[in-house]
Amino acid sequence: MAFGSLMILFLMFLNGATSEELCPLRRSIDVLEGEYFFLCFPGSIRDNLRSKIYTVNWFKESEGKVKLIQETHRLVLNGSFLEFWPAELSDMGNYTYQLSNGTYNVTTQKWSLNVLKRSKDSCFNTNHLSKRIEDDGRSYTLKCNAVPHNKNVTITWYKNCNIYDSANEEELNFFSLKVEDSGNYTCVVSISHAGRVFNTTSTTELIVKEGAAEVVKLEIIEREEMYVETQIGKEVILNCTAFLGYSGAAKPIYELYWTVRNINSCSESTKETDSICEKDCGIFNSGNKIYTSKLLWIKTVKEEDLNCNYTCLLKTTSKPQFKIFKLKKGSLPDLPSHVFTTGIIMAVLSSLVAVLMVVLYLMFRVDLVLFYRDITGKDDTIGDGKEYDAFVSYLKDSNVEERKFALEILPRTLEEHFGYKLCIFERDVSPGGAVVDDVHSFIDKSRRLIIILSQNYISDKVMYELESGLHKALVERKIKIILIKYMLISDYDFLPRSLELLPSRRVVKWKDDKSLPSNSRFWKNLRYLMPAKASKSNIRSHNLAMSPTSEEGTEVTTVCGESKTFL
């Protein structure tokens, strides 16, 4: 850093201690909304400002943005003070100031300002108070921390939001505290500015305790006689814990130790040579209670150890206490460590295998189901009373590519390659009939409703097919719907809301040339959603055996429920 900048920093901290009370160097400050508040920096800097050696700029950082503070009727730049008349919730943020002598600039961040909301049910905010705990019978002075640098103020004291003392004093003096003096003391400082009166408050919760110290009995907390199960040759650690009193009380005089033959203090040098040793665990807290503990380590249990009394003794200024520990042989031996370790490893491996199998099943569920259908020859279409595997719905006036997909690509693969029987209205139904009745009838005769969805899908005829299919799928539960997204759709508002009730897994996407091969993911997903069907070779054999004999040159075929003869 340049020498000039170092000089500025030196002057900033030279007399900081002399003004610490007026300008505390707190990193985080809480202030109530609607109250007067100010920020300032040490006296040595203020003196230099008066002599025009340095100038100062204030900055506020909020939501990652740093902004130069401009003076307003509410935010007043008063020398080394930044005053808020009053503070608002929008004032929350980090505040810094920059000193400059025309050549060098130094920016120092000192405050994180947090503006708290005022309480509607109380004269103070419970998050904006300090706490003092004192013993009764002592003298105590309660200071008002809200007094600003402007001494021309009026101070009013409240206890539990009721006027306590109307004297204009910065502090309350208690010559001898009593328990009934406990309460929340709030000082309200009133300041006049620009024809208005502003307040700033400070609240202290004073808790007065009875001065007489509670008599605490030091005791060993284990029951009088304890039996510990073990095995010959095993290691045993006995724990003796004593209660010593409460936090803040005078340190008790005590001695805690074990009485047993050939005992030493546990250390690095004795662990390998001595069979029994004790270790001091020191003093520890649990809540506001204080305990101490001492361990007795029996490295290898012998037969004669089962007949010994291991005594923990607590000596105090009053009557000493003791607890006796005894070892007894356990009915069952401990689980060998290698068996336990092997069991844990097997359990972890089994869990990993199970998780892996679930993941693999989710990834290859479609392939596994199709493989199962192929090897078992499963056929869900037998005996269900349906004539068609699927009714195909698409926009009849669509573009050439979509018509080609509906009339050529889809039936060529599903019918010729996989043996399904489709009913395509435009292809298979003779004109002249009642369209609404025909559609309703053919959907009833179909096991699936395939909807080829595109941006221009909706028309009156297709809308009827869609609504009829949705009613049968969602209300009557008579048919399952398969949605084919033939092309990208940017707006779904034209579709019925009931489509949102369909499971997302019943939607397959067409990906142009990538989906053309019969073994592509598109056809696998589509076959997975279609009913299980016997292989095409089986279907052909069955059809040859069951086809009727006809005159030469005559072909009999059935199209969507109508028998037609072609010469």
Catalytic residue list: 465
Separation of alpha carbons 393 and 424, rounded Å: 7
* 3 state SS of 554: coil
- Look up residue 387 and give its DSSP letter: S
Say if residues 422 and 392 touch (Cβ distance below 8 Å): yes
Separation of alpha carbons 414 and 388, rounded Å: 12
Separation of alpha carbons 286 and 242, rounded Å: 12
Helix 365-376 vs helix 521-529: crossing angle, to nearest 10:
60
* 3 state SS of 308: coil
Region at 377 (left for phi over 0; alpha for psi -120 to 50; beta for the rest) = left
Q: Which residues are CB-contacts of 412 (< 8 A; sequence separation ≥ 6)? A: none
Write the single-letter amino acid at 212: A
Separation of alpha carbons 96 and 101, rounded Å: 17
- Look up residue 327 and give its DSSP letter: E
Strands (E), 27-117: 28-32, 37-40, 55-62, 65-68, 75-78, 81-84, 93-100, 105-116
Tokens encoding 356 = 């892996």
For residue 105, the cross-strand partners are: 100
Which phi and psi (to 5°) does residue 539 adopt?
-65, -45
